[in-house]
Structure 1
């Protein structure tokens, strides 16, 4: 499934930017269902509503605002810190070290960064379990983004400015097509990371159908279901 852009395009890249969840580890690990469930419970408790109503609100805000948290902050004045601590308190025991991925990332020339809509604490915990926590020069999280989430233009410009990234010399790896639209427009090479085997829409706790749209969109330069193999072909 991996198709490589002209080698010269990747030879220009000096900053490699990776989303975290379902990108640096396979969606088959299904950590997202844990986060999803903890969001629902927190929202239900915070607003004093039934879990089913909380779940509907959670998904509505996510679609409209980029993250459920952003919607809750705007619509209900929620303090984000307690929310982030709660939703990312999950079981990571299913993750294991990925030495092949670590070696492939090591071989890339230039800087490597993680850019996530989650918290830095969650990212650090996941990266440690994967055994690649020392590969990245920075983790840019939702707090660093001033709670402006991907896929907004403001979020990406905040990231680029904060780290002095030239988008024309950068590549972005993501599991959601819509999160690649702005990077592509700004000049970044874009790679959509999908999961091998079982279609994502049939897995328990998986993304909604609308989140999986855009795989063939013009703003997706490449699609791969094997991130280590893709990176190995670039060097």
Structure 2
């Protein structure tokens, strides 16, 4: 982790009262340049090709259509083909995570945050547990994983998913923060009163997301953006502020 740059006082103030920290998983707790998401993405394409008996290029186009229209490929498949989710989720998340380097700086930065820590992901709970374990998080680092199944298979950024999450875990959005790599997934949290943090890749590094997913750091729904999540969290100096 690089030495944290001093954060503007307005940013510190925005996060000062947060007592619940909600983290996205993919391209947020690990970098967008990691091979993890491309491996999942490729397996989604393979699933579509096998399911429909089409070539890879056609499957890829259909996958991106579903993602753009429904928020996840799974949602599109359920709407148009009535598939059951279990086999799909198991297949697409059956990847090799050994290339994912442990991140002790991030583990410690999140551990040191005052309050609750939870994961809210459009992926599966098993994927979240395996991935965070590989990053170096202990089994009790996060209070809960609210995954796509917990969301009744309705993905972010649907408002119903956030509201279901708040109710399930007793989260007051006005005292909470949402940490995400996609601006579209911060808009409802912002409307509900959450502090919002956008995680972006460092300049001149690989970004495996879609081009449209890389935009929006200046969006009005984003309270702060960072290319170093661990350094940002340390820079909030929340332990010092609350220990005074």
Same fold (TM over 0.5): yes
Q: Are 2:11 and 2:223, in contact at CA under 8 Å, matched by a contact in 1?
A: no
Q: Which residue of 1 aligns with 2:119?
A: 114
Cα offset for 1:2?
A: 8.0
Q: Matched residues in 2 for 1:141 and 1:101: separation?
A: 21
**Inter-CA distance 129–139: structure 2 relative to 1 (3 Å threshold):** same
Inter-CA distance 65–224: structure 2 relative to 1 (3 Å threshold): same
Cα deviations by residue, 1:121-153 (Å, 9 ceiling, x for unpaired)? 000000100111331100110000000100111
CA distance in 1, matches of 2:11, 2:47: 46
SS of residue paired to 1:27:
coil
From 207, 210, 222, the equivalent of 1:220 is: 222
Change (3 A) 1:30 1:2: farther
Per-residue CA distance 1:38-70 (angstroms, 9 max, x = gap): 000001111122211111111111111110100
Does the Cα contact within 8 Å between 2:32 and 2:209 map onto a contact in 1? no
Q: Does 1:145 align with 2:147?
A: no
In structure 1, the partner of 2:24 is 19
Distance 1:2 1:116 in 2: 30
Aligned-residue CA RMSD (Å): 1.5
Residue 161 of structure 2 aligns with which residue? 155
Deviation at 1:12, TM superposition (A): 1.1
Q: Say if 2:43 and 2:91, in contact at 8 Å, map to a contact too.
A: yes
CA distance in structure 2 between the aligned counterparts of 1:188 and 1:3, rounded to whole angstroms = 19
Q: Report the 3-state secondary structure (helix = DSSP H, G, I; strand = E; otherwise coil) of the residue aligned with 1:173.
A: strand
Equivalenced residue count is 231
1:230 is matched with which residue?
A: 232
**Structure 2 CA distance for aligned equivalents of residues 175 and 65 of structure 1:** 18
User: TM-score, structure 2 length as denominator?
Assistant: 0.90
Unaligned runs of 5+ in 2: 239-244
Contact 2:77 2:83 in 1 (8 A): yes
Helix, strand or coil: the match of 1:105?
Answer: helix
Give the TM-score normalised by structure 1: 0.94
Residue pair 2:45, 2:60 contacting (<8 A) in 1 also: yes
